Structure 1
Amino acid sequence: MIWNETKECMSRDELINLQSARLKKTVSHVYHNVEFYRKKMQQLGLEPGDIKGIEDLHKLPFTTKDDLRENYPFGLFAVPQSQIVRVHASSGTTGKATVVGYTRRDIEIWQECVTRVLAMAGIGINDKIQVAYGYGLFTGGLGLHYGAENLGATVIPMSTGNTKRLITMMEDFEVTAIACTPSYLLHIAECLEEEGKLDKIKLKAAICGAEPWTENMRKEIENKLNLKAYDIYGLSEILGPGVAADCEYHKGLHIYEDHFLPEIINPQTLEPCKEGEIGELVITTLTKEALPLLRYRTKDLTNITYKPCECGRTIARIGRFKGRSDDMLIIRGVNVFPSQVEAALLELGETSPHYLLIVDRVNNLDVLEIQVEVEEHFFSDEIKELENLTKKIAGVLQSALGLSVKVTLVEPKTIARSEGKAKRVIDKRKLYE
């Protein structure tokens, strides 16, 4: 089902006119209300009147996650605090959270975008949807929750952490849809199989996101649970879940261009890529009031096509992500940077600055092992001392990352050295096949 045919199926000319009008309004909004953008534009010799439409987008400055971090917490907000009705946050590179705010209108637009995603997955007012993303500062839980309520579906705010109870409710409530990470859904499938309940559930659709996943993983989910699985994309800086999603044809994720103006650039030269060419996704928000962003560099590598889809939607589609142009990892929906690990270890002061992150997928759940070099004398101490140090490091890292980790202490010079950039990450998940 197409929830908003007027916006999702408009002609390219109509869309460009709408985008141009909204871009001009956004540029004026940030110029007059955000000192950061006003200074950036003035340094480039730009005034709001110089932006006539989307053909002038290239004149505007880029925005990065570092800009958000350096203006922590509210420096990029474009409205008074009295108009902020909600704040979310995601982990940043140095322990400082990336803070995002929403006006009442921003929340309504977010609801609309997620509703479009759910309708695209065939979910309607007669469905019961379990939202098994984390609630709280993470945007996943509340993002899907309000979108599903806006659609009129029955929402079961399950969150994460109690799979046995989730399965019981799934069976007893005759749940027909679920929203969660794809790795968690495979874990749920295995639990259902162990309990002999695969044939007792009524699931027909799954909205999966918050972590990268392969087409093979989708097929495995669909075969195990006899449902249709859909990919949802978003990032808290731009909105949260609902920036883009795929339809039943799974030929790219439809990005809601009436709210988000996409570009694909070469991450090295910053020049635009040709249609279909792999590059970094850059997004300009067109309707955000609280935290409008100009040319935000997502670091996600993908391509774009403007050809209409078989489903009838005319909005652009971005391809399956091929990786990232930075060193950020996404583990069970949590953003993890090696620099966070380094900062936590240096603050602890009982280890060397050499470490290695090893990410794997075990029983369909992401696991993070962190190998840490310690001084030689620790290995001559009692086992008890090593165990205590391991627990101490694990506690510090869990606090810094917001994620449980396995810590392995290794002897000095065990971790390979490099003359160039140190290799800090080994990702065994094969996410971009």
Structure 2
Amino acid sequence: MTYWQKEEVYDIEQKRQVQSERLITTVNRVYNNVPFYKEKMKAMGIEPGDIKGIGDLDKLPFTTKQDLRDHYPYGLFAAPMEEVVRIHASSGTTGQPTVVGYTKNDIEMWSDMIARSFTAMGVTKKDIVQVAYGYGLFTGGLGAHYGTERLGAATVPISGGNTKKQIQLLQEFGSTVIACTPSYILYIGETMKNMGIDPRSTKLHTGIFGAEPWTEEMREQIESMFGINAMDIYGLSEVLGPGVGFECSARSGMHINDDHFVPEIINPDTLQALPEGQSGELVFTMITKEALPLLRYRTRDITTLHTGQCSCGRTLTRMDKIAGRSDDMLIIRGVNVFPSQIESVLLKVAETAPHYVIIVDRINNLDTLEVWVEVRPEFFTDAIKSLEKIEKHITAELFSLLGLHVKVKLVEPRSIERSEGKAKRIIDKRNK
């Protein structure tokens, strides 16, 4: 088995010692350099000396995305600006963008985390990696780029979009690995088919997909379309970017690089830590970052953690696929609905394509849920009875899973807008 770094196979005592030492250093760093944390800790009656190791993690305050916005742009930085060599930011489409900074050491660590992740997925220095994540303020493109170079593989920095150029380079450059969002690789495949090109004709053997939630059903669609291994990578800009977690060849959950990011699961309502194996909100404490080491950052992602050695040999904590985000969860007539649940049903239906949109509205003070999904070209017909049969089947499957009546509307092939980055799946009209 190939590992990038020895820390991936630490035993429990080695891991706890490393985590404890790094946590103590980080707590001192933020207390002395970030007024926000100093005030928070003082208000809780905590001083850095009270943190003796990883067992004291729950004594520390939480951090939220709103805290980053409230201290925009650099208020939570723990390093002076003359030590910051890179700045990234979220899109800010749902509010003030969150700004993250990196020192030179942070960039080195990030590069190692991507190289570690890609190695576990079977990428080697012999590969040609086409990076089709967006470059710029978004962390995906440059994060994958630096990690690919650290690994020693050839990097094709095409960025996102320009789909026909993507296809040209896949064919002419002989790319063996592609990194992008799962929705975008499906769009690339669809475009190839429309151009009369078999998606399985490329030299790709692995796809590395992240930046948006995706289901096992979507994995099956991608693997069937391209004949590749579709691997999951996890990250968020506030914690690092891509490379916080990754799948290995065993695909029994994503390994979290817990020598750098200590994970917890909490109840999002009570904020109490939950025992291993229970589902809840994922929280991270960054213990090696210099520019922006956040304490107990609430990701809003819903998942479950598992410890113990993986069949690949790694002892890093593993997390299940993200079920959804607590702030993306739809509450429809008192029922909690995650978009991933709807996707899992749609992608099991042979007649429909993996392109859909969920529309939530409120009519006569009653919440409504409607799903538009494309019919595959070979099944699209003017025969109303045929389409009605498909609609009724999907409606029944969704009712069985959710206990809700969902209105299903089949739409023409290629009528739902495609995304060359993160797909927009939900339209919530209730707050408009």
Measure, in 1, the Cα distance between the counterparts of 2:17 and 2:35: 28
Secondary structure at the counterpart of residue 142 of structure 1 = helix
Aligned residues of 1:369 and 1:405 also touching (Cα < 8 A): no
1:62 aligns with 2:62: yes
Q: Deviations over 1:143-179 (max 9, x none)?
A: 1000000000000011122111111110111110000
Instruction: Evaluate the alpha carbon distance shift between residue 366 and residue 151 of structure 1 in structure 2; reply closer, same or farther with a 3 A threshold.
Output: farther
TM-score (norm 2): 0.77
What does the per-residue CA deviation read over 1:236-263, in whole Å, with 9 as the maximum and x for residues that have no partner? 0000000001111211100000000000
- Structural mapping, 1:104-183, within 5 Å: 104-183=104-183
How far apart, CA to CA, are the structure 2 residues paired with 1:316 and 1:263? 10
Task: Find out whether 1:45 has 2:13 as its counterpart.
Answer: no
Measured in 2, the distance between the counterparts of 1:366 and 1:142 equals 29
2:304 maps to amino acid: N
Instruction: Return the alpha-carbon distance in structure 2 between the equivalents of residues 151 and 321 of structure 1.
Output: 27
Alignment correspondent of 1:28: 28
* AA aligned opposite 1:110: W
Distance 1:96 1:370, change over 3 A: farther
Q: How many Å separate the matches in 1 of 2:171 and 2:242?
A: 26
1:96 match: secondary structure: coil
Contact 2:132/2:178 (8 A) holds in 1? yes
Question: Taking structure 1 as reference, are residues 405 and 114 closer, same or farther at Cα in structure 2, changes over 3 Å only?
Answer: closer
Partner secondary structure for residue 62 of structure 1: coil
Number of the residue aligned with 1:342: none
SS across alignment from 1:280: strand
CA shift for structure 1 position 135: 0.6
1:8-407 residue pairs with structure 2 within 5 A? 8-92=8-92, 95-194=95-194, 195-327=196-328, 364=354
RMSD: 2.7
Distance 1:366 1:91, change over 3 A: farther
Letter in 2 for 1:66: Q
What is the alpha-carbon distance in structure 2 between the residues aligned to residue 286 and residue 328 of structure 1? Answer: 30
How far is 1:186 from its partner? 1.3
User: In 2, Cα distance between the equivalents of 1:120 and 1:424?
Assistant: 43
Alpha-carbon displacement from aligned partner over 1:176-225 (angstroms, at most 9, x marks no partner)? 00000111111212222332233431000000000000011111111211
- Aligned partners of 1:39 and 1:160: how far apart in 2? 41
Gapped regions of structure 1 (runs ≥ 5)? 330-359, 374-401, 409-414, 417-422, 426-433
Give deviations 1:10-59, integer Å, cap 9, x for gaps: 10110000000000000000000000000001111111111000110010
Shift of 1:326: 1.5
The number of equivalent residue pairs is 355
Relative to 1, partners in 2 of residues 1:293 and 1:366: Cα closer, same or farther, differing over 3 Å? Answer: farther
| Cα separation, 1, equivalents of 2:271 and 2:424 | 36
Q: More deviation in 46-55 or 217-226?
A: 217-226
Counting aligned pairs with the same residue, the percent is: 52
Provide the rounded CA distance (Å) in 2 between the counterparts of 1:320 and 1:60.
27
Q: 1:89 to 1:367 in 2, by over 3 A?
A: farther
Rate the CA distance shift 1:404–1:207 in 2: closer, same or farther, 3 A.
closer
Give the whole-Å Cα distance in 1 for the aligned partners of 2:5 and 2:288.
Answer: 19
Amino acid at match of 2:208: I
**Kept in 1: contact 2:200–2:225 (CA 8 A):** no
Structure 2 unaligned blocks of 5 or more = 331-345, 364-420
Provide closer, same or farther for how the CA distance between residues 405 and 129 of structure 1 changes in structure 2, counting only shifts above 3 A: closer
CA–CA distance in structure 1, aligned partners of residues 222 and 422 of structure 2: 25
